[in-house]
Amino acid sequence: MRTFQFLLISFLILFICLPGVSSGKTPDVQKTPDIKMTKEEGPIEIEADRLSYDKEEQLYQAHGNVEVVRGDFSLRADHAQLHTATNEMVAWGSVVLREKEDVLECERLEVNLNTLVGKVYEGRLFLKDQNFHIIGKEAEKLGENSYRIREGSFTTCDASRPPWKFTVRELDVNLKGTGVARGPVFYVEDIPVFYFPVVPVPIKRERQSGFLLPTVGYSNQYGPEGKTAFYWAISKDMDSTLFFQYLGDRGFKEGFEYRYALPRQTSGQANFYFINDRVYDGNRYAFFIQHQQKLPYDFYLKGEINYISDRFYPKDFDEDLPEATNIDARSLNQLRSVLFGGKNWDQFTLLASGQMFNNLTLNNNDRTLQKYPEVNFVAYPQSLLKTPLFYDINLSFTNFWREEGVRAQRGDFLPQLSYPFRLFDVLKVTPEVGFRETFYHTYNDSVEEPNGSKSRETFSAGIEISTELYRVYETSKDSEIFRLLGISRWMHTLEPSIGYSYNPNVFQEDLPTFDAIDRIPFRNEITYGFTQRLLGKTDKDRVGSGPFEYARLQIFQGYSLGDPYERDNLGSGRYLSNIRGELWINFNPYLSFRGEAELNPYRWNFDILDGLIKVTDLRNDVFQAEYRFTKDRIQQINLFTKIKTISSLYLYGSYRYNLLDNWRVASALGAVFQSQCWTLGLLFENFNQSPDGFQKKETKFQAYVTLLGLGSLGHPPRLMSL
């Protein structure tokens, strides 16, 4: 109702704030076909079949096809009159006011152009941007900020008999305070559904504090669910939402969300949740904080904190987690909190950060490795003293900390020199050499590994030779490809390359192991492969300029001249690496694909095979399939589809299956009916129990209704947002 009442006020303001005319000298004539007057706001044009001016009464009268135009504003009526002494204006008979695409129709309009006090009778307002249809039998401005609307209604439906609407018998409002709505009723197909005798509502032009529409749901494991929320508009750059949720057997859950968008590109959000979980038999809580800020001298600060009371929280309350955090929890079984800041120059980058990890597979994270602080400085490849030589630098300092186990501080310094040149104006050759120095200071609680300082020195060398072949293809403007994508020219490139890299065998077994920097393998290998690209250039008559990459294929393999990559069961060395491939296609919006694979050349089967394909047609039907495979670890298929059956009905479906454990993870079926001014969504989800019992068997039902321009009862699930 709050939105409806606010719009009625906007409707009244729109038609009462009419432009005045000048009270300067005007010829005393009985019939004037066209008069133009100018104010600061712009020229006013008045036309009518009969336009007269009575000097004694100081009265303009216009009759027959009256039209007043100023810029995008126009008024048409059968009759109109203006008292220039009092600036009181009356228009009657098929009155139509237009401002761009917004239209007000009424039978009679009375307004004082000085005080802007007036009335509209039998008014109908249409606001194009929001598709608002507002009707008021009588709307009156009583004072500077006071209004009264009688027998009004509001809808966003275009039909003469709208599927839904709000009505109010009388509404008194003050733009600086609150309003009182008498007899507000919500109708569905002319059937009253909700009625309140009197409703006080806040009336302001800014965001409004108040209760939001409730949501409902049901779980066969925990019972009925309900949720309501209070929205608090703290200020123009801050707001918050307080949640109260009933979760059946689990009990009551509370939540608080705080959002801010401050000057100087500072924004963020903080979410807090708490429940005394009767199923879990204990207090459970979580908070998720995101912040970003621009600092003086072009420095920046960003961060996110993700904290949960127990490792089962992401499974039980996944809707609380931010989307990226939820993906990490499902795929990596971890939560990461990070705070970082720095500055970017044209050829340098400085970054300082701190990271904390929560391993969701462990009850205790005392031995989980954390990184804080970590400082990185990078100098990108650039000319050395204006010579053909190029240099780049990677410099880092990391403090590794954990409650139990080895802790250390590590400094790593890696400068490199390269000399890129072209051979025969065909081959691009880039030899490079680098030196690496790594320092450690360890401290721990183990007597077997005493504290101390250690270091490692090594170097690297390599060379890469590549070239580029290409061919350009013209596209016929009569072809289907041109009609769909508007591409007039295609370019196919082939970029073969071969490289050699060498890292010596250095003793490093006495160093602690935290990440890949701590164990640099002996490398004496040749790598070879190619990259293919497909680029298209938009027709010059269409929007677009430079070429766009539509597809890319990369295939590479290595051959070791030193130690084998691995050994078979008989101890024989395998000197060929896996064949690594990556394919990326983006013919948006019709077809997209991304995939990567590693093929073992000795077994001729895949060690890694991941792919995701999405197909969309002109009706907005969608089919998406994802396959993930990592040898002996992951084998899963995820399917999603959205089908438009009739013009207003979409069907949704999803299916997730773990092929490694022969376990159907989850499936869902949904339907969305989209009318011109309302949407109804239904979703059934079924979760199967996992082999280890971590995920319980559960069936959920959700429903939501959206009224165009007003919001939702419930919210669309993530499945229906794809």
Whole-number average pLDDT of the chain: 84
Residue 25: predicted pLDDT: 30
Cβ atoms of 340 and 352 closer than 8 Å: yes
**485 — phi, psi (to 5°)?**
-110, -15
DSSP string, 188-209: ETTEEEEE-SEEEEE--SS---
Three-state DSSP at 405 gives: coil
Give 199's strand partners. 181
Higher pLDDT, 114 or 165: 165
Residue 327 phi, psi (nearest 5):
-65, -45
Per-residue confidence (pLDDT) for residue 560, from 0 to 100: 94
* Contact (Cβ atoms closer than 8 angstroms) between residue 630 and residue 709: no
- Measured between alpha carbons, how far is 549 from 159 in angstroms, rounded to an integer? 45
Label the pairing between strands 59-70 and 573-574: unpaired
Cα separation, 76 vs 649, in Å, equals 41
Does 715 have pLDDT greater than 70? no
Q: Which amino acid is at 352?
A: A
Is the confidence at residue 200, as pLDDT, over 70?
A: no
What is the average pLDDT across 511-539?
92
Pairing of strands 523-538, 487-503: antiparallel
Position 636 scores a pLDDT of 93
What tokens were used for 362?
């462990």
Which has the closest alpha carbon to 19: 45, 58, 54, 53? 45
> Does residue 17 surpass a pLDDT of 50?
no
Q: Is residue 707 over pLDDT 50?
A: yes
279: Cα within 13 Å, side-chain hemisphere = 14
Before 224, cis peptide (omega within 30)?
A: no
Model confidence over 80-107: pLDDT tens digits? 998 888 888 899 999 998 878 888 889 9
CA within 13 Å, CB half, 103: 11
For the chain, domain boundaries: 2-206, 207-365
Confidence at 542, pLDDT banded by 50, 70, 90: low
Give the pLDDT of residue 540: 61
Token pair recorded at residue 27: 């010829």
Residue 712 Cα distances to 366, 706, 709, 716, angstroms:
44, 4, 9, 9
Write the DSSP assignment of 444-508 as a string of letters: -S-TTS--EEEEEEEEEEEEEEE--EEEEEE--TTSHHHHHH-EEEEEEEEEEEEEEEEE-----
CB-side neighbour CA atoms (13 Å) of 227 = 22
Tens digit of each residue's pLDDT (9 = 90 or more) over 315-364? 888 889 988 888 888 778 899 999 999 999 999 999 999 999 999 989 89
Q: Is the pLDDT at 610 greater than 90, yes or no? A: yes
On whether the CB atoms of residues 254 and 276 are closer than 8 A, the answer is no
What gap in Å lies between CA 138 and CA 152, rounded to an integer? 8
Angle 538-540-542 from CA coordinates, rounded to 5°: 70
Tell me the average pLDDT across 233-259: 90
Confidence of residue 647 (pLDDT cuts 50, 70, 90): confident
**72/517: higher pLDDT:** 517
pLDDT score recorded for residue 47: 87
| Model confidence at 33: pLDDT above 50 | no
163 preceded by cis ω (within 30°)? no
Tell me the C-alpha distance between 402 and 423, whole Å.
52
| pLDDT at site 218 | 84
Closest to 541 measured CA to CA, from 481, 599, 466, 487:
487
The answer to whether 104 and 97 have CB atoms below 8 angstroms apart is yes
Find out whether 452 and 442 touch, Cβ atoms under 8 Å: yes
Using CA atoms in the order 29, 33, 37, 42, what is the torsion angle rounded to 10 degrees? Answer: 170
What is the secondary structure of 298-345 as a DSSP string? G-EEEEEEEEESSTTHHHHTGGGS-HHHHHHHHHTSEEEEEEEEEEE-
Residues for the chain: how many in total?
722
Q: Where are the alpha helices (DSSP H) in 674-713?
A: none
Per-residue pLDDT tens digits for 375-406: 999 999 999 999 999 999 999 999 999 998 88
What is residue 307's predicted lDDT score, i.e. its pLDDT? 95
Residue 15 has phi, psi (to 5 degrees) of: -90, -15
| Angstrom distance (rounded) from CA 380 to CA 383 | 10
Encoded tokens for 601: 């050349």
- What CA–CA distance (Å, rounded) separates 402 from 72? 67
Encoded amino acid at 240, one letter: S
**Residue 239 near residue 231 (C-beta atoms within 8 A):** yes
Question: Whose structure tokens read 């194009």?
Answer: 128
Angstrom distance (rounded) from CA 528 to CA 143: 81
Judged by average pLDDT, the poorest of 23-27, 73-77, 286-290, 632-636 is: 23-27
Beta-carbon contacts of residue 19 (< 8 Å; ≥ 6 apart): 39, 41, 44, 68, 70, 73
The encoded tokens of residue 428 equal 């691009």
Check if the beta carbon of residue 499 is closer than 8 Å to that of residue 462.
Answer: yes
Q: Is the pLDDT of residue 474 over 80?
A: yes
pLDDT at 658 over 90: yes
- Note the pLDDT of residue 462: 97
In order of 59, 187, 246, 686, 709, the CA distances from 216 in angstroms are 61, 21, 9, 18, 21
pTM of the model: 0.73
* 128-158 pLDDT, tens digit each: 877 878 888 888 877 666 778 888 888 889 9
Q: How buried is 8 (Cβ within 10 angstroms: 0-12 exposed, 13-18 middle, 19+ buried)?
A: buried
To the question of domain 2-206 being in CATH 1.10.1060.10, the answer is no
Q: Would the pLDDT of 544 be above 60?
A: no
Task: Report pLDDT digits (tens) over 268-315.
Answer: 999 999 999 999 889 999 999 999 999 999 999 999 999 999 999 998
pLDDT single digits (tens) 689-699? 888 877 788 89
- The residues near 495 (Cβ < 8 Å, ≥ 6 apart) are 466, 467, 468, 469, 530, 531, 532, 533
Q: How many CB atoms lie within 10 A of CB 559?
A: 13
Q: Show the tokens assigned to 133.
A: 């249809």
Range name among 46-55, 472-481, 540-549, 558-567 with the lowest pLDDT average: 540-549
